[in-house]
């Protein structure tokens, strides 16, 4: 008789443990459904998008020395324009970005301003190129032109993706239930900086030329 009672109690114990585990699993699923993981997920997405922004700007910076050298070979007299491009590139690449650049308004603005200045210098250089048909028909220049055009397009896409990722992340921090989870679990998170409307409306360098050399 005692063994039967013991077996029943053990069965009830196992059933109770199983019920508790099922309840815990259910609570975890409910929490996940309520967006408990949204903040770290959106943060990682925004940081990944930022990495692509940096990669594409670096790609552009890497093209500029060859571009300047090629233009200089045909238009050495355009020294002021060439110098402005070199100096703008130096400022854009020399600045060391702090680890908190995405949540640091001053650092983010400095980065944005430097890249905008480089875009402006490139635009002026590419306008100058129109005066030199021989340069526009140079195979080396045409190759650089194509690479720069593709890079500018990739920059635009990378910035767009970053802007959207940051919008999702910042919105999650400000709205319910994200605001609740932030106060409970992610108190150290901060809104991320985004590209300003003014910078977004700046015209990107135009690199489409008449390739016939005329």
Block mean pLDDT (10 aa), the chain, length 214: 52 55 48 79 98 98 96 93 96 93 97 96 93 93 95 97 98 96 95 77 48 43
Helices (H), the chain: 2-33, 38-74, 79-94, 105-129, 133-136, 139-174, 178-185, 197-201
Mapped onto helix, strand or coil, the DSSP state of residue 43 is helix
What pLDDT, on the 0 to 100 scale, is given for residue 34? 73
Angle at 40 between CA 36 and CA 45, to 5 degrees: 130
User: 158 near 200, Cβ under 8 Å?
Assistant: no
What pLDDT, on the 0 to 100 scale, is given for residue 198? 53
Is the pTM higher than 0.75? The answer reads: yes
User: 199 near 112, Cβ under 8 Å?
Assistant: yes
Angle at 87 between CA 107 and CA 55, to 5 degrees: 55
CA proximity to 47, closest of 206, 158, 203: 158
Residue 50 structure tokens: 């930022």
């Amino acid at each position: 008789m005692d063994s039967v009672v013991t077996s029943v109690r053990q069965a009830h114990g196992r059933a109770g443990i199983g019920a508790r585990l099922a309840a815990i699993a259910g609570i975890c699923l409910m929490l996940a459904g309520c967006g408990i993981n949204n903040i770290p997920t959106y943060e990682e997405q925004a940081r990944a998008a930022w990495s692509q922004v940096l990669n594409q700007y670096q790609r552009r910076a890497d093209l500029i020395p060859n571009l300047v050298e090629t233009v200089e070979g045909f238009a050495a007299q355009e020294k002021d324009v060439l110098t402005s491009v070199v100096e703008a590139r130096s400022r854009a690449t020399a600045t060391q970005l702090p680890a908190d650049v995405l949540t640091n308004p001053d650092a983010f603005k400095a980065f944005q301003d430097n890249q905008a200045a480089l875009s402006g210098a490139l635009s002026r250089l590419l306008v100058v190129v129109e005066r030199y048909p021989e340069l526009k028909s140079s195979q080396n220049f045409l190759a650089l032109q194509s690479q720069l055009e593709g890079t500018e397009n990739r920059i635009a896409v990378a910035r767009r993706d970053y802007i959207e990722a940051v919008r999702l992340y910042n919105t999650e921090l400000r709205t319910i239930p994200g605001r609740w989870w932030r106060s409970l679990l992610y108190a150290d998170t901060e809104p991320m900086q985004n590209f300003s409307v003014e910078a977004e409306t700046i015209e990107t360098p135009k690199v489409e030329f008449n390739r016939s050399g005329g």
